Homo-oligomer: A and B are copies of this chain.
Amino acid sequence: MNSSTNYNIVCLAGGVGGAKLAHGLAQIVPPERLTIIVNTGDDFQHMGLTICPDLDTVMYALAGTANAATGWGRADESFHVLDEVARLGGPDWFRLGDLDLATHLVRTHLLATGQTLTAVTQHLCRHLHIQPDVLPMSNQPAPTFIQSGARRLPFQTWFVAERWQPPVDKVVLPENVRASAQVTHKLEKADIVILAPSNPFVSLDPILNVYPIREMVMDLPQAVVAVSPIVGGQAVKGPAAKMMQERGVAVSATAVRDYYGDLLDGFVYDVQDADAEPPAGMTLCVDTMMHDDADRRRLAQDVLALAQRIIVATAE
């Protein structure tokens, strides 16, 4: 896979699954060739702080400071502040650890000085010694809402406070949000775009919905490859499977492939789904579970191998 290191690679990522694959890619792709564009639809204001859960999860994974057990938050974390917040009758439904809180405080401070979210994220990455570019999808707020019956819930209220139990009638994405100049610059130069194994509806659609990301991903790269977040007919983590059931589609890798449609040139899915109806188009069926750093690296290599196959096939 050495030749793939000559490609400019952009990975679109949500939270945990996206962060793991981003970390796998970072282990094998030169940092100047790798950009992670991250969903900020989950961002919210909480106790005065601007919290960007997916950006944080990706940053912590790339910095090697993520909590491997939970998938979110920092390793070696303590909760002195949040325990006291609870004692003082404050909200403790969003589990803010002490180290994690520092990220939100610094972000909120720098945003208040007038810096863009992109610049603030660059500041945090520099101090976390992260080399690849980690870019929020936009500098504008782009909050995702969940329509459930008559209720329109802010994303984190639905996802964390209500543990994604209210049925989703519609994922409501904002209109008129534009990508940052850094995002469009990286997509212009991208040879390979990877859609991480994140939730298609609430992690990747919010990114693709930001103008002109979907259009650029459709038109420009030589290969667009997605990794299935559905493994063995279940979501590895989170509400993807439940949301597919509620939409009346099969919970399968094939259905994910169909959902992305002609945006994709290739699709990577898990060996546990090898017996099911194979997804359309060029595919790779491998072990996609990322239990440790080696798994992440291996899946990143597999994804790039498929992308390279597509590029070679297209050139022929």
Contact A102 B78 (CB under 8 A): no
Residue of B46, B80, B89 touching A80 (CB-CB under 8 A):
B80
User: Could you tell me the dominant secondary structure of chain A's interface residues?
Assistant: helix
Distance A46 CA – B110 CA, assembled complex (angstroms): 11
Contacts A98-B98, A105-B81 given; indicate if A124 touches B48 (C-beta within 8 A). Answer: no
**In angstroms, how far is the closest chain B Cβ from the Cβ of A160?**
16
Distance A99 CA – B81 CA, assembled complex (angstroms): 6
Render A105-120 as a binary contact track against B, CB cut-off 8 A, 1 for contact: 1101110100000000
Render A43-64 as a binary contact track against B, CB cut-off 8 A, 1 for contact: 0011111100000000000000
Residue of B46, B90, B109, B123 touching A47 (CB-CB under 8 A):
B109
Residues of B within 8 A of A103 (CB): 84, 88
Distance A123 CA – B90 CA, assembled complex (angstroms): 10
**In angstroms, how far is the closest chain B Cβ from the Cβ of A58?**
16
Distance A81 CA – B104 CA, assembled complex (angstroms): 10
Residues of B within 8 A of A48 (CB): 48-50, 104-105, 108-109, 112
* Most central of A48, A80, A82, A128 by chain B CB within 10 Å: A48
Distance A71 CA – B311 CA, assembled complex (angstroms): 67
Contact B128 A102 (CB under 8 A): no
Distance A212 CA – B91 CA, assembled complex (angstroms): 36
Closest chain B residue, CB of each to CB of A109: B47
**In angstroms, how far is the closest chain B Cβ from the Cβ of A210?**
25
Q: Is A127 an interface residue (CB 8 A)?
A: yes
A interface residues, Cβ below 8 angstroms from B:
45-50, 78, 80-85, 87-91, 98-99, 101-106, 108-110, 112, 123-124, 126-128
